[in-house]
Chains A and B, each alone.
Chain A
Amino acid sequence: MIKKFIMTIDGQKIEAKEGETILQVALRNCIDIPHLCAHPDTKVKANCRMCVVKIKGVNGLQTACSTPVSEGMDVETLTPEIRWARKFNLELIFGQHVEDCSVCVLDSKCDLLKYRKIYNSKMLRFPDRKINYPIYQFGPIIFDQTKCIDCRNCVEVCPTGYLELKDRGSDINIEPSADKKKDCIACGQCLVHCPVGAIKSEGEFESVKEIKKILQQKDKTVVVQFAPAIRTSIGEELGLPYGLVVTDLLTAGLRKLGFHKVFDTSVAADFTTSEEAGQAVNHIKEGKNLPVFTSCCPSWVLFIEFNYPELIKNITTVRSPEIILGGLVKSYWAEKEKIDPKKIVMVSVMPCTSKKIEIERKEMFIKGNKPVDIVLTTRELAWMLKDEKIDLEALKPELADNPFGDPSGAGVIYGASGGVMESALRTAYYRLTGENLKSVDFKEVRGQEGIKRAVIKLCKPVKTNSGECIEIKAAVVNEIKNARIILDELKKDPKKYDFVEVMACPGGCVGGGGQSLPTNSFIRSKRAASLYTIDKNKKIRLAHENPAVIKAYQEYFNDEKICKEVFHTSFHQQKKKPIGRLKRDMKDFKLIKK
């Protein structure tokens, strides 16, 4: 059992647990100790030194993030000495951080600005030391060294080792790797864990202006889709509690912004599931290209294409829900509505930075058209709503548009790690037996653990047949670093798994690189839990039961060629992406190509 004891912080008696740090105990009790390098997802590094506190009986100041609590410990968090140290330390930190606040991903949530007020630090005490440092772009990721405070969080969370720590002393720097064997997979985890907004994704926030312009054009039909994981995170950007479900408010907000049609990506996830479950069952029965890897996470796909090209054949050919919806809109729906697909602009709101480059892949194009034209992150949409002074809370809930407005529960849980697998298993059972599961929950694949393994037995009911079963050895992988473990296992025993879901981001898309900030384990589990609640309350919880899916297959997707064109794709080996340079236009802080 974990020992509990009483300690004192600022004169207040507080219960604490063995193994906790002073920072954890303080934050849990609403005592704010400034901290920049400390993130619940990363190791304690104690390098920003903002969290210094005084422990009675100990010489000097100690960092709260790295000091474990002990029984009877007496901590003061705000002596004059501490104030002084934080004030000047923060000024030193400002000295290495170019303040481009007006276009920063942290927007109003910047800790530097918050602490500056509290400690009365002068932002401009020292001239910007890094003003002439490079601004890099690789794929959709923009890394602005002029803002970096060298905390190393990004280096630690980058799953590919692409961000490297170079040099020493005040020449220390984070650099994109020149190593030919390392490439960025665009997951955006570096961005999510940067305390000072030194990393953002392409378009933040210029794409908002672009969309506004398009919305003015009379001859365009502008369609928007939102991903499963947006409905439980966008509220946070607008001051609502972590993980609150705001699907219908979000829909109302999108209409208010002027989008002509609002569709739900989760409906497309039901199409993905229908295709993927079929493919997986076939491969498992035939023993062909096992294990089957899921394909809806473009960062995972890039990871395989770059690092393990020999495994490309194992990735299911099914497109990701976002791309499928784009394709559905620009083929099936356009035909039905008699709209020229060239006049449709498909915008998607994604929790993901990787989706920004996925839409550029030529193998996704349909008759020369990009299925999706613009990807916005959760943050960008929030920015747009705020810019238009739209207060989601004040709106009347609205339902998304038909025919892609009402998903099954299976389509919604796509946003959490394990969701893709669970949806597929529900439908696989049907594909195999022609009947639906009685209990559709596969709890063993849910949750925040790094790797979830399960052997799942799907049996044909005895009454219809001889009791044929197939056993699916499944693994759900949460984060790329854990994918390496599974890939190593497979190297030793290629038959260890039949079906493997991989999502690059911790917790799946609820923890994606495009998500609302901050994101950490606690917040991710809130967002995920809400998705499962939606699923539980849905009448239809099986992808193949979704009437929109059934109807589309009947009306349109009744031959293999058209299915292939809209639902399937191909993957191929990737070369290392070039590293571009940007420069800052000092007038409006816009970044332009050098």
Chain B
Amino acid sequence: MNIIDKIKTAKLTGRGGADFPTATKWQGVLKAHSKYPDKPVYVVCNATEGEPGIEKDKFILQNYPEKMLAGMKIAMETLGAEKGYIYLNPVYYKKFAAKLKKIIGKLPIEFFVEYGGYICGEETVLLETIEGNRSEPRLKPPFPTERGLFSCPTLVNNVETFYYVAEIADGAYQQTRFYYVGGDVKNSGVYELPIHLSIGKILDETKNSPPFEFFIQAGGGASGEILTSGELDIPLKGAGSIIVYNFKKTKTLLLIKNWVEFFYKSNCGKCAPCREGFFRLRQLLKCRQLNIALLRALVQTMKDASFCPLGRSIWLPTVGLLEKIGLNNKK
């Protein structure tokens, strides 16, 4: 069985958050390569971590850099890639570049230091920045698999995905993934556990089940979904992160403010609903009397009309918080 078939059989999906089947992506690049045989193929490893508060990429870069690079090398060989890029945020670049460089040796793999912040985790933004353009998303289609970096077929996978590609190649993959558990817990950190484990079980296994009333944000520190303690019987989707909030101690309005502030600072400004929406949300949240109807209307509009996932993502946590938890520190 070739590696793509193995990945397919293992049902590996992208671990950056989008859960896209990895084998399909690789096949897409191969197909594009045979369509445009003259164009080089690129492989990019996304090591931007993305969402605030998560440390999964960091954990792998720290502990298993060889594995991750092995996965990348497999991808480059399988897809006939001319060149690979490791796309790091500036902090990780400082921390890990030297070590990675040693392992890379003579392989045609380069580093690229991200500029433009959180939004660069989105694969088309990442490609734009490598090309030296503004950090803004591209229209899709065409997808990067067909017309990615410099309009050439390009594979973008994240650190964890490449790690597991190497595991699969070694026959060592056991349907696990990395989880980050943080927030109001005792044992925050990164854990490798089975993919189908329910969120409740993950908290148990990592000895993080809170003894107090709580709710969680699942899938990302800013854009993740809000779940109550009664809703934890499901596996974790998206970026594998769980942030636990102490129900009594958490100022939920402040939480929304923090999310909005984060996105306000990190949006690229390309499209109207997101650019203007975060500006207005931020102002709205400063008002003495919070207009919740307008708040909801805005996040709904941003979800429905924004160009890229960044603008769309404020809706989920905000509406979840309003509906499931409520605002406990209204002025």
Contacts and interface: CB of A to CB of B under 8 A. Distances in A.
A89 B311 CA distance: 13
Contacts of B272: 47-50, 89, 92-93, 149-150
A126 B282 CA distance: 12
Contact of B265 (A47, A49, A60, A169): A169
A49 B264 contact: no
B267 A169 contact: yes
A488 interface: no
A170 B269 contact: yes
B199 interface: no
A89 B280 contact: no
Nearest to A52: B305
B305 A49 contact: yes
B300 A84 contact: yes
Contacts of B307: 46-47, 49
A92 B273 contact: yes
A95 B280 contact: yes
A171 B278 CA distance: 12
Contacts of B278: 169-170
Interface in B244-269: 264-269
B280 to A, nearest CB: 6
A168 B269 contact: yes
Contacts of A168: 116, 134-135, 267-269
A96 B305 contact: no
Given A47-B307, A60-B304, A170 B264 contact: yes
Contacts of A48: 271-272
Which label, helix, strand, loop or mixed, suits the secondary structure of the B interface?
helix
A88 interface: yes
Nearest to A61: B304
B269 A171 contact: yes
Nearest to B312: A60
B275 interface: yes
Nearest to B276: A92
B169 to A, nearest CB: 34
A178 interface: no
Contacts of A85: 273, 300-301, 304-305
A84 B304 contact: yes
B129 to A, nearest CB: 12
Which label, helix, strand, loop or mixed, suits the secondary structure of the A interface?
loop
A46 B268 CA distance: 14
Contacts of A88: 273, 297-298, 300-301
Nearest to A88: B301
Interface string A124-157: 0010010000000000000000000110000000
B270 A92 contact: no
Contact of A89 (B135, B139, B273, B312): B273
B305 A150 contact: no
Nearest to A43: B139
Nearest to B140: A66
Contacts of B305: 49, 52, 61, 85-86, 89
B304 A150 contact: no
A325 to B, nearest CB: 45
Given A89-B273, A92-B272, A129 B279 contact: yes
A172 B269 contact: yes
Nearest to A48: B272
Interface string B134-161: 1100010000000000000000000000
Contact of B269 (A52, A60, A150): A150
- Residue in B268, B272, B278, B312 with the greatest tally of chain A CB atoms within 10 Å: B272
B139 A172 contact: no
Given A85-B304, A88-B297, A92-B273, A170 B268 contact: no
A44 interface: yes
Interface string A163-179: 00101111110000000
B22 interface: no
Contacts of A50: 272
Contacts of B240: none
A46 B271 CA distance: 8
Interface string B297-320: 110110111110000100000000
A460 B306 CA distance: 66
Nearest to B278: A170
A215 B280 CA distance: 50
B219 interface: no
B221 interface: no
Given A49-B307, A61-B305, A126-B280, A170 B139 contact: no
B276 A52 contact: no
A95 B284 CA distance: 13
Interface in B108-153: 116, 134-135, 139
B134 A165 contact: yes
A46 B139 contact: yes
Contact of A84 (B271, B275, B301): B301
A169 B301 CA distance: 18
Interface string A304-342: 000000000000000000000000000000000000000
Given A46-B271, A92-B280, A170-B279, 11 more contacts: A47-B271, A60-B303, A60-B304, A88-B298, A92-B301, A95-B280, A150-B269, A168-B135, A168-B268, A169-B275, A169-B278
10 contacts: A49-B272, A49-B305, A82-B304, A85-B305, A92-B273, A92-B277, A92-B280, A95-B280, A170-B264, A172-B275
- In the A-B complex, list the 3 residue pairs whose CB atoms are closest, starting with the nearest: A172-B269, A92-B276, A88-B301
Interface of B: 116, 134-135, 139, 264-273, 275-280, 297-298, 300-301, 303-307, 312
Interface of A: 44, 46-50, 52, 60-61, 66, 81-82, 84-86, 88-89, 92-93, 95-96, 126, 129, 149-150, 165, 167-172
